[in-house]
């Protein structure tokens, strides 16, 4: 695997696959992704509104079957696939009717860290993963499981206790999957640190104990600087760009990825960037191309597999990450795709990434 793509805002939409405006996923979409040079698709899945009451937390058979159908689309297209537990852990998230989506929470309803809340969360977490593992037990190494997404309590400095909670959940995930049947004893498993944040991961992540050696992969996310990459409030990026953030530039990218390489990859722990990207801003295409080519190249050169966040959103502005039309499958930004694939598979140096043309 060199570079991957996220099927965002589809199976992770809590109410239904089409609730956030994307059409149903088709085999043609995944074939297009594979044809564009991607080798891996991350399929975020939100289970919350599709599970029954405890203690069984039974997943709706139709929902589980649809997830399997989309995984099969990926397999038939020749793609590796990752499925996870996604917005079940979104901080304070509720659906349009006010029904809580988040249950994979670090705090009880009063906002406190408590043993009772941790036990309740772990019981549901284990029940959900037990069912997922059973459903996909016969699938081979083309399918990976990811324990959870961006679990956090706000974006400020985290309570160090949160690190321990995440580490314990990752260990539960490994234990449940390994205790299940079929190929799950050998399946590659993806685990994140707190909020998939690089600095918090470096500070508090502990690799779970796994009876199967060499099958754990660490995941982080990367949207820095977020005013440019995520929110579209800054139009330019990089050393040749006037008016940039002043942080999160080329030296920051290299520094962050070097730290990850030294602590994890050089010690035998594979690593992916489970989400990264830069939103489309009309008239600033080449700054986006430069950012994506630079970040992709910096990651791949260090043995990190980057997975682009595509939420299907077209147009210009914050969170407009669409690379392919979800209805026609046409590439929305062909030059950007070319740059990303060039960075993932080319043999040139990072210093040779062409600066943006204003």
Check if 141 is active-site.
no
Asked about 338 being catalytic, the answer comes back as no
CA atoms of 124 and 46, how far apart (whole Å): 14
Task: Find out whether 342 and 295 touch, Cβ atoms under 8 Å.
Answer: no
Beta carbons within 10 angstroms of residue 122's beta carbon: 16
CB distance 267 to 206 below 8 Å: no
**194 SS3 class:** helix
For 268-307, the DSSP string reads T--EEEEEE-----TT-HHHHHHHHHHHHHHHHHTT-EEE
Radius of gyration of the chain (CA): 20
Helices (H) and strands (E) in the chain, counts: 9, 8
Do 355 and 290 contact (CB within 8 A), yes or no? yes
Q: Which one from 15, 102, 150, 314 is the annotated catalytic residue?
A: 150
Residue 111's Cα: distance from chain center in Å?
A: 26
* Integer Cα distance of 253 and 251 in angstroms: 5
Estimate the crossing angle of helix 115-135 against helix 61-76, to 10 degrees: 60
Neighbours of 350 (CB within 10 A): 16
* 263 exposure class (CB count in 10 Å sphere: 0-12, 13-18, 19+): middle
Asked if residues 85 and 148 have their Cβ atoms less than 8 Å apart, the reply is: yes
Helix 285-301 to helix 334-345 angle, to the nearest 10 degrees?
20
Q: List the catalytic residue out of 17, 146, 250, 275.
A: 275
For residues 4 and 26, what is the distance between their CA atoms, to the nearest angstrom? 18
Active-site amino acid positions: 150, 275
């Amino acid at each position: 695997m060199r570079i991957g793509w996220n099927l965002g805002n589809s199976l992770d939409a809590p109410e239904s696959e089409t609730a956030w405006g994307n059409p149903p996923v088709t085999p043609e979409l995944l074939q297009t992704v594979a044809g564009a040079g991607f080798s891996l698709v991350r399929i975020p899945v939100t289970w919350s509104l599709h599970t029954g009451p405890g203690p069984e937390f039974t997943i709706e058979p139709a929902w589980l079957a649809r997830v399997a159908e989309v995984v099969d689309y990926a397999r038939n297209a020749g793609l590796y696939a990752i499925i996870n537990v996604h917005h079940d852990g979104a901080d304070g998230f509720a659906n349009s009717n006010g029904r809580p989506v988040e249950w994979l929470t670090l705090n009880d309803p009063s906002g406190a860290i408590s043993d009772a809340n941790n036990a309740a969360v772990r019981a549901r977490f284990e029940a959900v993963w037990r069912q997922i593992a059973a459903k996909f037990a016969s699938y081979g190494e083309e399918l990976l499981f990811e324990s959870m997404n961006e679990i956090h309590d706000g974006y400020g400095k985290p309570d160090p206790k949160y690190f321990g909670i995440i580490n314990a959940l990752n260990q539960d995930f490994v234990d449940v999957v390994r205790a299940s049947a079929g190929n799950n004893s050998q399946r590659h498993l993806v685990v994140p640190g707190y909020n998939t944040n690089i600095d918090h991961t470096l500070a508090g992540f502990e690799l779970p104990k796994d009876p199967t050696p060499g099958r754990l992969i660490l995941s982080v996310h990367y949207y820095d600087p977020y005013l440019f990459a995520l929110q579209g409030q800054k139009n330019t990026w990089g050393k040749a760009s006037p008016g940039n953030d002043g942080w999160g530039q080329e030296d920051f990218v290299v520094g962050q990825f070097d730290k990850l390489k030294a602590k994890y990859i050089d010690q035998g722990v594979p690593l992916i960037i489970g989400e990264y990207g830069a939103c489309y801003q009309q008239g600033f295409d080449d700054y986006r191309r430069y950012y994506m080519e630079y970040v992709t190249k910096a990651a791949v050169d260090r043995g990190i597999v980057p997975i682009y966040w595509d939420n299907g959103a077209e147009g210009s502005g914050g969170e407009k990450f669409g690379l392919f039309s979800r209805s026609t499958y046409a590439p929305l930004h062909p030059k950007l795709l070319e740059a990303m694939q060039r960075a993932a598979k080319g043999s040139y140096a990072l210093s040779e990434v062409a600066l943006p043309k204003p």
